[in-house]
Amino acid sequence: MKKLLILLTLSFFSAQSFAGSCPDGSDPVKSISADGTYFVYNCGGNTNAFDGEYPFVLSRFKPSDGPRVLGSGVLVIKNGTISVSPKHRQLETSSTKYYDTLEGQINKNGKINVKFNVNPLTGKGKPHKGSFSGNINNLQIKGKFDDFQLIIDISTGEYRLTGRRSLSTTSWGYSIVSDIVRAGKESQRFEVRPGDCGKDP
């Protein structure tokens, strides 16, 4: 009887403390410990179904001044955890090291929650932690910073090294080009429609 009372008490307080506490926003799965004296909560939402690398473009939008691309890179998903590849990074408003602050999760249904320090302003302000959410199946996740809507557009096309192009997707959408340009040895481009950036060299 005493053991049952302890379990009921633990059940009440554990449910209050842990409900909805998984990174993806889902409720933990409850089970009883091996010796039967306490409850164990596990987050079972993580998955490897979406493991891979996904080129992305980060942009901002405000009705008064329209859209503007802020940066780009490659999202890496592994066992439900999201990070940014150290390669092919570009960020207009601050150092690319801020991509290292990105922490994200994706669940088995493709729902994404991401947080990282971002600054949508060029030449002023400083990065603050922003939250993004959405579904990978929609190829877009969104967040907000003051009056700006922040958008991460994702490409599911696999990228590869090909000739003069250092990074490209097998479908249209995103590429890093190795041609010599005014700002350095390579540039990045993002197509809104197929063919906007011309054909491969």
Q: What's the pTM?
A: 0.60
pLDDT of residue 178: 42
Specify the DSSP element, H or E, that contains 152. strand 148-154
> From residue 171, how far is each of 16, 156, 168, 190, 195 by CA, in Å?
47, 9, 8, 12, 11
Indicate the domain borders of the chain: 2-42, 52-156, 157-201
Q: Residue for token digits 């197929």?
A: 194
Average pLDDT, consecutive stretches of 10 residues, N- to C-terminus, the chain (201 residues): 52 47 60 62 67 93 90 93 94 92 93 92 82 94 90 77 39 46 50 50 46
60-81 residue pLDDT tens = 998 888 899 999 999 999 999 9
> What single-letter amino acid sits at 74?
V
Select from 75, 26, 20 the least CA-distant residue to 51: 75
